[in-house]
Amino acid sequence: MKTVTPLPVERASENASGAIIPASGQNALASSPMIVMPKRQHIKIQPEVHIGFAIDRTGSSGPFAQGIKQSVALILKPIQEKARLVRVWQQTHGDEDYDEHPILITDGGTVEQALADNARIVFEGGGDAPEHQLSGIHALVKIMGRVSDPRKSRGAIVACMTDDTKPDREGMTPRSLGEKIKEFGLLLYAICEPYPFAEELTEAAGGLMFPITNEPDPGQMQRISAQLSASILATVAAGATRPMTVPMKG
């Protein structure tokens, strides 16, 4: 497991135009009014990118709720700009002892649909900590494992949660669930308080953890979102099997 400390982010600037210079040289280009400089073509990442969000919807923290709503957009939009096709699954979960079972609110939808669905999430309920974090993630893993085909797509799960976990309803341990995520070829990213179960889960999956407090500040969530989306893009482009860390300029 790798733990990532968010760094300040600076957007990279565009490179110069990708026009072809005639063999006669640069001066010939400048003297000929008939030559038109083509716009640079942005090559899209070819595999489909499938992203699943497992979101703790309990009313644990107002700053967490607001931060997650912002983060989903900040994660998805850069990926949408670079990837040929993005499909999104979005599931919320709570405390199943209070009948707060996982709910799939976006089922393979577009980025626009996922953002509209995310805006309607109500963060409330839950009993005293811990909550059913493992059961919620497990439910999404079963969906993502079924829909993601490594031959033509890359799948990633982003788990957003606060508080510790209760045992998984089906008996999966953090380690066995992490191993299942790896078996399905899914990338795991955890935005969470660094409880032992989350560390074990992330380590077993070969994923990345972005530690937060129960009340993360907006700047921290923005930096995490930038690093996470950059990691997904770099990992998919490289065909890597584990999430890559991408240095961010500051």
Relative to beta strand 153-161, strand 2-3 is: unpaired
d(CA 201, CA 178): 5
The pLDDT tens digits of the residues spanning 96-131 come to 999 999 999 999 999 999 999 999 999 988 766 799
Give the pLDDT band of residue 30 (cuts 50, 70, 90): very low
Domains and CATH numbers, the chain: 47-238 (3.40.50.410)
Structural contact between residues 130 and 165, judged by C-beta atoms closer than 8 angstroms: yes
Structural contact between residues 197 and 167, judged by C-beta atoms closer than 8 angstroms: no
The pLDDT tens digits of the residues spanning 138-162 come to 999 999 999 988 788 999 999 999 8
Relative to beta strand 86-93, strand 103-109 is: antiparallel
Question: Residues 56, 58, 60, 63: what is their CA dihedral angle, to the nearest 10 degrees?
Answer: 60
pTM of the predicted protein model:
0.82
